[in-house]
Structure 1
């Protein structure tokens, strides 16, 4: 087999355009070039996806061994001179013989494997136990950390009070009835951010957030005079009584607004409208729609309203900065104890594992993974992993988190800076399909990597969907090709357009008809904001009109969450009599109290330390 030159490559592939196809053939191309299977790392986000990648590689190789025509097609796909089925059979045999040494898996499994190879350098026990982030065991660890803080603090005057004071500042302006739950939620939500940015100067500092200053923080005119002046001016203009009352209530509420004030009805109604017209108010003239009537604010009236709006914004910004500063103090205390407890016990979440291998880990001095031996501040992985990972293939790159990327960044940068031609980097993804922002996924990494190394990374775009019919693709193009300049920030539109291109359907209608529509409930001239049930009503109306069962069809209703799914099912069962509706959302069965208790029994049997499960069982009729 003749070695081939493999460029670094980034593929932006839309839904259904063949991301797994591209990655699998990249892997086969490496094997055809004579690369040893254990020199290739192909990583993705789930075990299911990793299994699909492996199955695809094997399936394509098996096809190529079946017939000379299939071997020729596969050779064309991987960009090499035609290979014979016998040659693909040799590649397949070699792959199977090396199954135990393959690196086709998840980012988490790779991270844990490296972690177990460097326990002493990272300051953890040789034997570690993994737990699910946000699971029962992780919650118990969190409780243990907080209890440890109080035990240690009991020996230091005012230490527990300092923790509660930090929490009070972090939740400033919010009414907290259940301190324990809110404390736990705050830690769970922001602990990762603290780890990535442990510098106190970056938390709640106006200078760090707005290096060029913030106009709303500098606008501090007398709000009391502005409130009185606005009402007087509107009365002189002959404003209708209802309109005058709207603005008077707003002016009074904004004038008296403090950091602990509730978001009262006058603000709920009028503030969004005024904020939307902020640029017009600054220019000295704005038209505000209230109660189906237009109110023109000119000159002094516009200035008075702007002063009141600025006061509310300024209070919110100052409160947010105070809360952020308090969150830092709380997280700093928590993290110090958490590091001690976790390292001592060797019980880690996958996020903990990633953090230990990141540059933010102070215990290891921020040591980075490397394939260069003898370098200070580097963890040389070849010897410990008994492998030379020369070629990296990353799937679903748009969902990579900053922490995950920090683990791999040095390894990838070593490859991209290597001009020997013996190593390569390949990543595929679609920023439009980023779905893991809730767990830290950062789709901007895709573009940031191209900005930094675009001169050495070849890029390819795939926009032909083999999954969607022409009607759906056409609708997608109509909606997303022309984003509204008057409703979205210019920067957001530019970022979107960088990776957007019109889609094409790879399917042929073959005489079939179809339709795709984007529908929204009426807004009644902007005075009424449609709610969820208004949308459910549209869905029910369509199903009653189409009558899918009478036509021998099935119908699917896609929603954003399991909670939304249950709500839709309840509504459709009532609004569409005779139509069987089922909820196929994840874990819907646990809504049954009997099932929920039995699950707790199983959890407690498997993990006797799971006190949440045991308490649940104790409260049931089983005990």
Structure 2
């Protein structure tokens, strides 16, 4: 087998990566390699299944057909092989199936731990936790940390103090949510670097010292010195106002808050002229005119900014240490309660398998383990290598080393992937490994690992490939949006693409639109012109976020009647009324006191069936459901209830029937765990998703990440707007040493501070390079999903300075770009099929039970108002919608506007909204005296507060989905509900009395519906519900009768 060698393949999108993998595997078999001594690993079960199926299909085809055998023999460079030999190879694979190592990295690592538990420090068997199980374990450990019967007072106090440090004293009401955020964001970093010396350690961050931290002067002291040193009489009135305003603002400024407006320009100028100010030679602009500063005055100004920098850096150091302390206290308890009990996540498995550096005994055990593995495996095939993390590579490194350095040449290493599709850096993937490994093994012996490029697409037609080459292969255009270092790295691996589908017609075009409304309208126009449903074409509209995908899918359905479905990962238990009602029924059975779940059931056709069966009372229903769960499992219970309730569905409601089947299938998967815990099931099903395959006629609206690995006849990209692409991801700044181990961790300061500190600037630039490269990868993935048509829709660049994708499109394609035949689809005919969703296997509905099908709408769907023609294409509509959504999110932070909450409110708002005008509008609304009653706690002893509370209800022949902005429910001393107020915030422009009246009339139907829904949910007559519209633009509340 010495002719096989070691091979790295850089496989561009659609170029046949799976084909190359299976060819390599068959070639190994033909060379005499036993199938069980070959390890082939990828990232997903789907990809592993496709890999295995392709091996069997190709071998079976060659085993029965002379022509197929001849083709496969030529591809593996063994022309002498005939069907008889391929039958023999097929028999070897089938016989070895129980021993094959074709699967996922996670699965392979789990098997290693199962094989060597004692060597890895485990007491015996272990249990792999699913996502829902891991979440429950987290909640259990957090409960233990606060449980008076388990944790000592000192331990609880330590945790609380650490949390205060991590939040810098900011009070948090949503403690659970914030703790979850801490653990999600920082837990993995802690486990990579548990040593406190790595976290917020100024000596590690600045080994040469930091002049800011050495100033030793407070902001108040620096301001006092500066006031005394400045030559006030030498300034004109404007300059005196600028400097006085700056110093006054800094006296009132709190560390951690954004710099006040009077300070922004002076601080920026002082930093710009820093060296000259310290040297006493500065001529710095103040109030639009340059001023020469004497040494004392210049140093005093610099002293104020130095004190600001020191205060901010010290705060970040303290916050970083607090984060470490919080996570450490949690992880120590979690390790004791969960990991040591043998309950592990996939991440835990990878950590167990990491080679030990500091423990000689563990290192020796690991070496012995590797020797035993090395004796079993000869050949390594690694797929999607661009997404491999360094932790995963460390586990395999020694084993691959032995294969590459085999003196007899009887072993091999093969890895394939595409560094241009490395879009999972946020979860640990490091595409730089791809080239580093190649260079490492080739440094001593040139050609130890050979390099091969696959750049011919078997997916896309020629016009699409031409656009991909024009955009992604133009280094000068790429330099318009990413740093030069990113362009160099990208172009090193770039190969011009070609297409194998030379006879396939298609179309690629760049479209321009003025704003988001225009981009969405153009998307709808393109989809309607193609008419994918009629022609049986697969279509995807790719966006950047799930939220934007949901909004766009709703727009396509509402405005154009397009069958658009948001996202490819479907929460099948919660995206339709039928299964939502079934889950509410289960929740009521387990928790009869859950009024919200009970009212949700009461507002659906389920209630009528419960009355019919005599189970409308709490105990009867609970007994029936709980007995069925215990005896038949969740799948059996749901199957029975689907049979009972299915007659309430419309005869043509195939979608709900399909979702019911999928819920039963999901429940069956949960039943395999052996659990009958209803709360555990409800948590599990919340996370359960299905990934739908390409659906002819259905427009799939999904993120680029979800689309990776998929192909569609038509792809539309209407969501390439945004800020500069090379912006570092939010989160901790993590600096790694030459061995890629964590050197230091710091909660990063603002961009202004980082840009003026050499150490932090270097780290920020490195992070920006990573972000810039990943952004190019995301764009490349988006552009290469299309088979027949690709439509890119962006807004004109104009005078905008953002280094974003529209700027790249303009630089690479110009103002007008189109290739191929715009009417390519005219010759396409839809394949014959009964229905997109497929026939239902559930019992048919009898004619006597047929019901009118409910239409779906939102509460605001009943509003109507004349609109002036000039407003139809007004560009302000998009910005107004964004503003309205942002203000609603900000107002949802407010519980009661008391003195303590108001003191912290602006800081909380600033954490989720960067637009100062929107933030100020929301804050002033809360503080405005005319709206004080809206945000003030009622005088009653008890009250409930709903904020951004979603609801679904059957009402007047329609299924209504909506969200209450704010509902205050008042109770008497005994807890009985005595009244409620529904508050709906509006950001309408109502500048006149007439405009206000029109707006109130427009929203009146919505408020009437809200009153009816709340009345039914809380069991109160509608007369006891007060409706109030709050117009934020004018800070006025209007009671709506």
TM above 0.5, one fold? yes
Q: 2:12 aligns with which of 11, 14, 27?
A: 14
Tell me, yes or no, if structure 1 residue 608 matches structure 2 residue 666: no
Partner of 1:543: 524
The corresponding residue for 1:494 is 488
Q: How does 1:45-60 map to 2 (within 5 A)?
A: 45-60=43-58
Structure 1 93/145 Cα, relative in aligned 2: closer, same or farther at 3 Å? same
| Alpha-carbon displacement from aligned partner over 1:298-353 (angstroms, at most 9, x marks no partner) | 98799999988877666554433322222222222322222222244321111111
Partner of residue 469, structure 2: 477
Partner of residue 420 from structure 1, selected from 408, 412, 423: 408
In the TM superposition, residue 110 of structure 1 has moved relative to its aligned partner by 0.8
Report the counterpart of residue 527 of structure 1 in structure 2. Answer: none
Task: Compare the two structures and name the one with the higher strand fraction.
Answer: 2
Cα drift, residue 57 of structure 1: 1.5
Displacement, 1:105? Answer: 0.5
Residue 262 (structure 1) aligned to one of 241, 257, 260: 257
Q: Does 1:165 align with 2:155?
A: no
Instruction: Flag the 1:535–1:317 CA change in 2: closer, same or farther, 3 A.
Output: farther
Which residue is equivalent to 1:525?
A: none
Shift in Å at residue 572 of structure 1?
2.7
**SS where residue 543 of structure 2 aligns?**
coil
CA distance, structure 2, for counterparts of residue 422 and residue 47 of structure 1 = 29
The one-character-per-residue Cα deviations of 1:523-553 (angstroms, maximum 9, x if unpaired) are: xxxxxxxxxxx43531323423663256856
**Pair 1:64-2:62 in alignment:** yes
Alpha carbons 1:401, 1:442 under 8 Å: kept = yes
Indicate the residue corresponding to 1:468 in structure 2.
460
Aligned residue for 1:76, secondary structure, equals helix
In 1: Cα distance, 2:431 partner to 2:308 partner: 33
Shift of 1:459: 2.0
Q: Distance in 2 between matches of 1:255 and 1:352?
A: 49
Give the alignment partner of residue 431 of structure 1, picking from 419, 424, 427. 419
Q: In structure 2, do the counterparts of structure 1 residues 573 and 408 end up closer, same or farther at CA, with 3 Å as the change threshold?
A: same
Deviation at 1:114, TM superposition (A): 1.0
2: distance between equivalents of 1:66 and 1:287? 85
Gaps (5+ residues) in structure 1?
Answer: 289-293, 368-374, 522-533
Conserved? CA contact 1:14–1:463, under 8 Å: yes
* Cα distance in 2 between the residues matched to 1:515 and 1:21: 27
Q: 1:51 to 1:578 in 2, by over 3 A?
A: closer
| Distance apart, 1:613 and its partner CA | 4.8
Q: Say which is worse superposed, 250-259 or 466-475, in terms of deviation.
A: 250-259
* Post-superposition offset of 1:106: 0.7
Single out whichever of 476-485 and 218-227 deviates more from structure 2: 218-227
Call closer, same or farther: CA 1:232–1:416 in 2, change over 3 Å. farther
Partner of 1:400: 388
**What CA deviation, in whole Å up to 9, does each residue of 1:390-446 have, x standing for no partner?**
111111111122332232222223333433312211111112212333432222322
CA distance in 1, matches of 2:248, 2:314: 21
1:524 alignment counterpart: none
What per-residue deviation string (whole Å, max 9, x for no partner) do you get for residues 130-154 of structure 1?
112xx33212211333344456996
Q: Deviations over 1:431-489 (max 9, x none)?
A: 22123334322223223323422333222222222222333333333333325546533
State the match for 2:317 in structure 1: 321
Q: What is the CA distance between 1:193 and its match in structure 2?
A: 1.8
Aligned mate of 1:33, from 31, 34, 39: 31
Q: Does 1:587 align with 2:567?
A: no
Larger displacement relative to structure 2 (140-149 or 85-94): 140-149
Change (3 A) 1:412 1:306: farther
Determine if contact 2:461/2:506 at 8 Å carries over to the other structure. Answer: no
CA distance in 2, matches of 1:229, 1:477: 61
CA contact (8 A) 2:113 2:353 kept: yes
Q: By how many angstroms is 1:113 displaced? A: 0.8
After TM superposition, the structure 1 = structure 2 runs for residues 180-191 of structure 1, keeping only pairs within 5 Å, are: 180-191=176-187
CA contact (8 A) 2:59 2:86 kept: yes
Q: Which residue number in structure 1 is paired with residue 352 of structure 2?
A: 356
Q: 1:580 and 1:153, CA in 2 relative to 1: closer, same or farther beyond 3 A?
A: closer
CA contact (8 A) 2:2 2:409 kept: no
Residue by residue over 1:547-590, the C-alpha shift from the partner in whole angstroms, topping out at 9 and shown as x without a partner, is 3256856543112343332111122334x334443335322541
In the alignment, the residues of structure 2 paired with residue 11 and residue 299 of structure 1 have an alpha-carbon distance, to the nearest angstrom, of: 63
Q: How many Å separate the matches in 1 of 2:409 and 2:68? A: 29
Distance 1:206 1:452, change over 3 A: farther
**SS of corresponding position for 1:410:** helix
Question: Taking structure 1 as reference, are residues 343 and 543 closer, same or farther at Cα in structure 2, changes over 3 Å only?
Answer: closer
What SS does the corresponding residue of 1:474 show, helix, strand or coil? Answer: helix
Change (3 A) 1:188 1:615: closer
CA shift in 2, pair 1:358/1:546, >3 Å: closer
User: d(CA) in 2 for partners of 1:74 and 1:406?
Assistant: 35
**1:506 and 2:494 aligned:** no
Does the alignment pair 1:568 with 2:563? no
Q: Report what 2:509 is aligned to.
A: 516
Give the CA deviation at 1:364: 9.7
Deviates more, 1:72-81 or 1:94-103: 72-81
2:135 is equivalent to residue 139 of structure 1: yes
The one of 398, 423, 448 equivalent to 2:436 is 448
Change (3 A) 1:250 1:95: farther
Residues 581 and 343 of structure 1: CA distance in aligned 2, closer, same or farther (over 3 Å): closer
Bigger drift between 75-84 and 109-118 goes to 75-84
Mark the CA change 1:197 to 1:420 in structure 2 (over 3 Å): closer, same or farther: farther
Taking the aligned partners of 2:420 and 2:231, their CA distance within structure 1 comes to: 48
SS at match of 2:450: strand
Q: Distance in 2 between matches of 1:228 and 1:515?
A: 67
Tell me how far apart the structure 1 counterparts of residues 464 and 20 of structure 2 sit (CA, whole Å): 24
Gaps of 5+ in 2: 587-633, 635-666, 686-950, 953-1016, 1018-1041
Listed as ranges, the matches of 1:215-364 within 5 Å are 224=223, 256-259=252-255, 261-263=256-258, 266=261, 315-359=311-355
Q: Which has the higher contact order (CA 8 A, sep 6+)?
A: 1
Whole-angstrom CA distance in 2 between matches of 1:295 and 1:486: 32
Shift of 1:86: 2.0
CA RMSD of aligned residues (A): 4.5
Give TM-score scaled by structure 2 length.
Answer: 0.49
CA distance change for structure 1 residues 229 and 26 in 2, over 3 Å: closer, same or farther?
farther
Secondary structure of 1:9's counterpart equals: strand
Distance 1:229 1:114 in 2: 70
